[in-house]
Amino acid sequence: MQSPPGIPVPVPVIRLPRGPDGFSRGFAPEGRRVPLKSGGSELQEGPMNEDSPETQEQRARATLRERYLRSLLAMVGRPVSFTLHQGVLVAAHFGATDLDVANFYVSKLQTPIGVQAEALLRCSDIISYTFRL
């Protein structure tokens, strides 16, 4: 064990140089996963503009998505008819879809070669689906 250390020596902090636009830190602008709310400086703040196109678009997106999710909810457990490629029609009981609606989880799938207890239908294989309420 060494003797207790004295006042620690400050270590120089290495900062990435500022990018060509003057305020970023070397991150590529298109590397952002979430696009900037206002096209331009991240430092821009101020009262949220209710009528900004981005807000309107986001509101529309939210409403449309909520409606769609509710339509999926209404389908759960009900018999649904799927139109697949090449005129193939199959019927099944709807279970669920995943987040991107890429796969449809169904049960009691009636196929031309028999009834499948559980199955996953890929969205790319489906043209449309229909059910009655």
Partner 1 sequence: MPVWAAAASPSPLWWRSRGQLTTMNEWMKKSPLEWEDYVYKEVTVVASEKKEYKGWFLTADPVSANVVLVNFLEDGSLSVTGIMGHSVQTIDVVNEGDHRMREKLTHLFMSGDYKGHSPEDLEKKKNSLRKWLEKNHIPITEQGDSPRTLCVAGVLTIDPPYGPENCSSANEIILSRVQDLIQGHLEAYPPEGQEL
Residue span binding partner 1 (CB under 8 A) among the ranges 9-17, 18-26, 39-47, 118-126 = 118-126
DSSP 29: G
Q: Does 60 bind partner 1 (CB under 8 A)?
A: yes
Cα separations in angstroms, 67 against 9, 17, 90, 106, 113: 60, 47, 25, 21, 35
Q: Does 121 bind partner 1 (CB under 8 A)?
A: no
Contact 76, 96 (CB under 8 A): yes
Question: Bridge-partner residues for 90, per DSSP?
Answer: 82
Q: Does 116 bind partner 1 (CB under 8 A)?
A: no
Tokens 């620690």, located at residue: 8
Q: How many residues bind partner 1 (CB under 8 A)?
A: 51
Binding partner 1 (rule: CB under 8 A), the pick from 11, 14, 28, 34 is 34
Nearer to partner 1, 18 or 98 (CB): 98
Nearer to partner 1, 10 or 100 (CB): 100
If DSSP codes are grouped into helix, strand and coil, which group holds residue 67?
helix
